[in-house]
Amino acid sequence: MRAALIGGPCTGKSTLCDELAVRGYEIVPEGARQIILEQQVIEAHTPSVAKLPWTNFAAFEELVLERQLLLEDRVKTDNAFLDRGILDVIAYCKMGNVTIPASLSRLQTRNRYTHIFLLEQVPYRNDAQRTETPEQAALVHTAIANVYREFGYNLIHLPVMSVQQRADKILQHVR
């Protein structure tokens, strides 16, 4: 079982992954946030080579795809939850009007994940890596859901509720 938790920024994916990890499940963290943090360090020293979504969107999405694949390849168990999936890259590229990485077309995208959980948005908060407006976050949320549907996935909707309740609901679906 490989279940991806999807949704726009600030839907509680990482918090829910933390709860599932506490319950003993393997988690694949979000690669995009890792890359933003790394590229912000590079930007502080050499701004011209940094690949951030707000300075070099296409190159950033390439890095996100590479990192997400690396993180997914490291899964050691048969039961893992992913903080996003590789199809998120398609949604972001469409929204940013940039070319979808060619390497993505060579990957197994259908049936890559056993379950797709779409987390409904919680009240939006910006931080140093999450720079969208609430309106942009809502558009990203819709775009991500649409891409997974386009690839034939049935989305399991998770409404806003406590983290523990969301984890319980997910575990009911995967058992």
pLDDT of 40-67, one tens digit each? 888 888 988 889 888 898 999 999 999 9
Q: How many angstroms separate the CA atoms of 21 and 27, rounded?
A: 6
Of 128 and 175, the structure prediction assigns the larger pLDDT to 175
What's the pLDDT score for residue 150? 94
Q: Which of 71, 44, 66 is nearest to 55 (CA)?
A: 44
Cα gap 17→81, rounded to integer Å: 7
Around 49, how many Cα atoms within 13 Å sit in the side-chain half-sphere? 5
In a domain, 10, yes or no: yes
Determine, yes or no, domain membership for 36.
no
Beta-sheet strands, E only, within the chain? 2-6, 26-28, 80-83, 115-119, 155-158
Instruction: Report yes or no on 47 lying in a domain.
Output: no
Looking at per-residue confidence, does 29 or 104 come out higher?
A: 29
Determine, yes or no, domain membership for 104: yes
Q: Flag whether 140 is in a domain.
A: yes
pLDDT category of residue 129 using cuts at 50, 70 and 90: low
Number of domains in the chain: 1
Q: What is the four-CA torsion angle of 148, 126, 122, 6, rounded to 10 degrees?
A: 20
What single string gives the DSSP state of each residue in 71-99? HHHT--SS-EEEES-THHHHHHHHHHT-P
Q: Which domain holds residue 91?
A: 2-29+79-174
| pTM of the predicted protein model | 0.91
At 98, list the tokens. 């940039």
* pLDDT surpassing 90 at residue 131: no
For residue 78, is pLDDT > 90?
no
Q: Is residue 44 part of a domain?
A: no
Q: 87-119: per-residue pLDDT in tens?
A: 999 999 999 999 998 888 778 777 799 999 999
User: Given this model, what pLDDT does residue 130 score?
Assistant: 66
Question: Could you tell me the strand order of the sheet in which 26-28 lies?
Answer: 26-28, 80-83, 2-6, 115-119, 155-158
Please check whether residue 61 lies inside any domain of the structure: no
Q: What is the CATH number of the domain that holds 139?
A: 3.40.50.300
pLDDT in tens, 145-157: 999 999 999 999 9
Asked, for residue 91, whether it belongs to a domain, the answer is: yes
